[in-house]
Amino acid sequence: MRKIAAPVAMAAAGFLFIGGGVAVADIADPFGANRLTGDKTTQVIAEAKEGPAKNVILLIGDGMGDQEITQARNYEVGAGGTLPGIDALPLTGQMTTYSVTAEGDADYVPDSAATGTGWATGQKTYDNAVSVDHQGNPLKSILKYAKDKGLKTGNVTTSEVQDATPAVLAASVKQRACYSPSRVEQCGDDALDKGGAGSISEQHISTRADLTMGGGAEYFDDEILAGEYEGQTVLESAEAEGFNVINTADELEALTVADQEAPVLGLFEPKNMVREWAETVAPVGGYYADDAVTCQPNPEVPSTSPDLAAMTSKSLELLENDKGFFLQVEGASIDKADHARDACGQIGETIAFDKAVQEALAFAEADGETLVIVTADHSHNAQLTEGPDDNVPSIRLLTNEGSEMGIVYPSGGHSGTQIRVAAYGPGAANVTGLIDQTDLFGIMSRGLQLDTDAPDDEPTTAPTESPSSEPSETPTGEPTESPSGDPTETPSGDPTETPSGEPTETPTGEPSGTPGGEPTGSPSTDGDGAGGGTDGGSGADTDPAPNAPRGGLAETGGPAAIAAIAAGIALLGGSAALWKQRRSGH
């Protein structure tokens, strides 16, 4: 996609100018919708660079299925446009995301804890599980393996840092609701005073990534119940351990170091960071309203908080070093807006995520030794469709190119379809074709040449019982988080819609110390809403070496990968010939 360089001349040539500084041809002109200007074979082969990679940047758009990408593209840059980050990666594939039950059967609609565990550890597990296997045994994450090698590590999100996606890198707990020491029932035997490794907040401190940033500040105010810092807050323990705690965008910008001597803990908001665009909840039958809606900036965004692109850019500056780094960046509230049926919120978060991807790609292009992977954890329920039933939540938006777009929310939960995965840099060819989420662990760990077969120094405790495959109690009503993303607010909205899955408020009731044990009361913490229930057992990945090559194009490298790609894209030659015929009028 051409960037605007000479607006007057390009306008005279028939280009339209759409939000984001991207020019597109008039799609109604002959061949105006074409995305190709010639054969791509040479370019694709050139992009299939061999590893290893010095650095890996993994960017996760939570809930960002193909529907969400298409809706954001249509709204922001038009149907014929290209998102300058997400759509720019040269090598793409598709990725399966299912979780598993206690019996090892497929659970087709996963939550963010199970999916995150997949790429963080290479193993599938049950919904609600954070980097533990189906028996509740802790699994070592790729961030910890990277630390073992002496690489710098970073963990950035727009959610609470205790949320599932950032948590899978830093913690191992049987229930994702184990945010902080006071959540005694949710933490069960993972609590420090029960002999466990502690809550997610506490494990962020003990894991000691060089850089951890997002929301969730209020959970660090909980008092620790056992150990060296008993009676002190988690935040006080972080400061005692040498963490540099920051709370504003200005403090972030002023940083010059993030390492093991002075790791950075950036806590910018009490809970989830506020969404970039103002909330526009789709009402029941809203598709048939008289006027389409235009999205607006969110006036509630704190001026003191950095956006995701700023956090990403600064993280790359702080983590860059001669040995290399691993960085995970999550755009968390695409998912949270989807759960709330917030069409503008969802699109705005996707656009904000795209800007973070642009920062990562700019770094990788200049560096030449960085693998960038862009994907999601799971797909979601927002549907780009028309003519929906008038008894379901729906809305029409007026896009930047002046067309109307209908979005329908048939449920409040996730969907289980495969999702896009795209990559750039050394080893990027490994994402092509169809892979599984767990393959990302191998792709990244091999790329960084991590020793994932070394003995694990983490304690392994056999659980007292196997995980329950029964789903947890279902929340009533669809979650409609406030822009602050308060995980404890009561779900509201259409009382006839039942989002299945990920938690939206603090669980209450019986403890859940066993793996997959039923989280009690309404599910907990983030409005992430997994389909298929918040709790199910899992079967561990039966591959004894999750990082070992599995064969096929997605797992080959070097000349074999290049040859395979060249053969696999031979069809492009036929497409190019047909395109040339069409261009010449034949």
Active site residues: 112
134 is an annotated ligand-binding site residue: no
Q: Is 335 annotated as a binding residue?
A: yes
Report the SS3 class of residue 384. strand
Q: Tell whether residue 290 is among the known ligand binding residues.
A: no
Q: How far apart are CA 432 and CA 555, in angstroms?
A: 9
| Helix-helix angle 308-319:343-367, to 10 degrees | 20
Is 586 marked within a binding site?
Answer: no
Residue 473 labelled as part of a binding site: no
313: which residues sit within 8 A by CB, 6+ positions away?
359
According to the annotation, is 62 in a ligand binding site? yes
- CA 266-271-234 angle, 5° bins: 60
CB crowding 256-273: b at 16 or more within 10 Å, else e: eebeeeebbbbbbbbbbb
Closest CA to 187 of 459, 531, 526, 515: 515
List strand residue ranges (DSSP E) for 352-500, in order: 370-376, 383-384, 394-398, 404-408, 419-424, 433-436
542 appears as a binding residue in the annotation: no
On whether the CB atoms of residues 263 and 211 are closer than 8 A, the answer is yes
Question: 3-class SS at 152?
Answer: strand
Q: Residue 66, exposed/middle/buried by CB under 10 A (0-12, 13-18, 19+)?
A: middle
**Could you tell me which of 185, 158, 200 has the C-alpha nearest to residue 351?**
158
- The answer to whether 113 and 504 have CB atoms below 8 angstroms apart is no
330 labelled as ligand-binding? yes
**Residue 165, annotated ligand binder?**
yes
Residues tagged in the binding site annotation for Zn(2+): 62, 335, 339, 377-378, 414
Residues tagged in the binding site annotation for Mg(2+): 62, 163, 165, 330
Residues tagged in the binding site annotation: 62, 163, 165, 330, 335, 339, 377-378, 414
